[in-house]
């Protein structure tokens, strides 16, 4: 049995099996719905079910509220059809312009950026043209079939390799391997690119970027892409961490102020007692942006970090500062459960 799903506006149609999410079925049909985390945390895939019913699946309450559900909204990365559906999903594109590939790669550099952050530089096969948009992510494919998702930290023009920023997670099997056993010249396999977290180049709105921890990685790719294309729109980047070590490429971020006209960088530390000599901003990173912007109705926001930060930023920027919901682009970092 399959269910017929129609997308409005646009009129795209595709079939979904009962055990497929709406997003999985759309991607399988070559349609790229807005999405990022695929784990019900970021809210990027939220859309309205106009007719039909779905099983909502597991998701973060911050990404889909009870009020959202009452109005007919669902998260397409979690929702599975229980009937034929007509759903509203905006900014749908054909996925075929940048194909998703499974490729081998070679670890060509490992660099400790902080005690708990490792830069992995992956060399791509010379025979393959791997395309991606700045801000997207890849899945590292493990031998047992599991996946680990990491954002691409370099820009597309800087081709031939992929840069990842990997934070060590207590009990994390793959991240423990990265820090304890991975060596240069090791071979990995990955699939990508994935996600719809990328710079909307057809907009003229000023940009506010909010990054928490290694959420800086896709932001770095987007900023470097903006530099490469000569973007003229004002960009303000807020990068938050617990302590100074968490701002692991602080000098690079500061250098962009001299490289990209209209760019401002504002680092924010949340662990004030741990940095008694810190003269910069303190507190929650999204609160720093709230303090600076009384009105975001004419802006776009790109936010990347922990789900709690994404939830708070979406709620406050849209609810208190007038940011349109379709001008909030997010990538929420979720982690696989620790292994015993």
Q: What is the pLDDT of residues 142-185, one digit of tens each?
A: 998 899 999 999 999 987 999 999 999 988 899 999 999 999 99
Q: Which long-range contacts (CB under 8 A, 24 or more apart) does 227-234 make?
A: 227/155, 227/256, 227/259, 227/260, 228/155, 228/157, 229/201, 231/199, 231/201, 231/260, 232/261, 232/262, 233/203, 233/204, 233/205, 233/206, 233/207, 233/262, 234/206, 234/207, 234/262, 234/263, 234/264
The CATH number covering residue 44 comes to 3.10.20.30
The CATH number covering residue 134 comes to 2.40.30.10
Average pLDDT of the segment spanning 246-261: 97
Residue 95 above 70 pLDDT? no
Does residue 202 belong to any structural domain of this protein? no
User: Are 261 and 327 contained in the same domain?
Assistant: yes
User: Are 172 and 230 contained in the same domain?
Assistant: no
pTM given for the model: 0.81
Q: Which H helix or E strand runs over 107?
A: strand 101-114
Does residue 271 belong to any structural domain of this protein? yes
User: Are 139 and 87 contained in the same domain?
Assistant: no
User: Are 149 and 228 contained in the same domain?
Assistant: no
- Structural domain of 295: 207-332
User: Are 124 and 49 contained in the same domain?
Assistant: no
Q: What is the pLDDT of residues 194-251, one digit of tens each?
A: 888 899 998 999 999 999 999 999 999 999 999 999 999 999 999 999 999 999 999 9
User: Are 107 and 67 contained in the same domain?
Assistant: no
User: Are 50 and 151 contained in the same domain?
Assistant: no
User: Are 157 and 263 contained in the same domain?
Assistant: no
| Number of domains composing the chain | 3
Does residue 201 belong to any structural domain of this protein? no
Q: Provide the sign of the torsion angle of the four alpha carbons 156, 33, 76, 147, taken in this order.
A: negative
Of the candidates 131, 166, 194, which is a domain's last residue? 194
In terms of Cα–Cα distance, which of 317, 336, 314 is closest to 43?
Answer: 314
The CATH number covering residue 248 comes to 3.40.50.80
């Amino acid at each position: 049995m399959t269910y017929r799903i129609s997308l409005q506006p646009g009129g795209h149609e595709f079939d979904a099996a009962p055990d497929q999410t709406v997003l999985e079925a759309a991607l399988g049909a070559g349609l790229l719905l807005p999405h990022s985390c695929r784990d019900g945390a970021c809210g990027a895939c939220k859309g309205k079910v106009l007719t039909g019913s779905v099983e909502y699946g597991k998701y973060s309450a911050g990404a889909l509220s009870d009020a959202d559900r009452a109005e007919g909204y669902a998260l397409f990365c979690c929702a599975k059809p229980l009937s034929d559906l007509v759903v509203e999903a905006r900014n749908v594109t054909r996925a075929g312009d940048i194909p998703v590939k499974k490729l081998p790669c070679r670890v060509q550099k490992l660099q400790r950026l902080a005690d708990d952050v490792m830069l992995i530089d992956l060399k791509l096969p010379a025979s393959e043209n791997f395309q991606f948009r700045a801000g997207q992510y890849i899945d590292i494919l493990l031998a047992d079939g599991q996946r680990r998702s990491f954002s691409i930290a370099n820009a597309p023009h800087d081709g031939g390799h992929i840069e990842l920023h990997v934070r060590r997670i207590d009990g994390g099997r793959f991240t423990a391997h990265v820090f304890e056993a991975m060596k240069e010249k090791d071979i990995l396999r990955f699939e990508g690119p994935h996600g719809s977290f990328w710079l909307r180049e057809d907009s003229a709105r000023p940009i506010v970027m909010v990054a928490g921890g290694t959420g800086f990685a896709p932001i770095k790719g987007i900023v470097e892409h903006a530099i490469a294309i000569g973007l003229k729109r004002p960009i303000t980047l807020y990068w938050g961490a617990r302590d100074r070590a968490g701002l692991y490429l602080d000098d690079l971020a500061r250098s962009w102020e001299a490289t990209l006209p209209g760019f401002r960088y504002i680092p924010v530390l949340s662990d004030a007692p741990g940095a008694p000599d810190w003269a910069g901003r303190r507190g929650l990173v999204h609160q720093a942006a709230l303090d600076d912007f009384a009105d975001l109705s004419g802006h776009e926001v790109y936010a990347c970090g922990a789900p709690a930060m994404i939830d708070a930023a979406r709620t406050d920027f849209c609810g208190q500062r007038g940011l349109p919901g379709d001008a909030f682009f997010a990538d929420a970092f979720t982690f696989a459960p620790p292994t015993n």
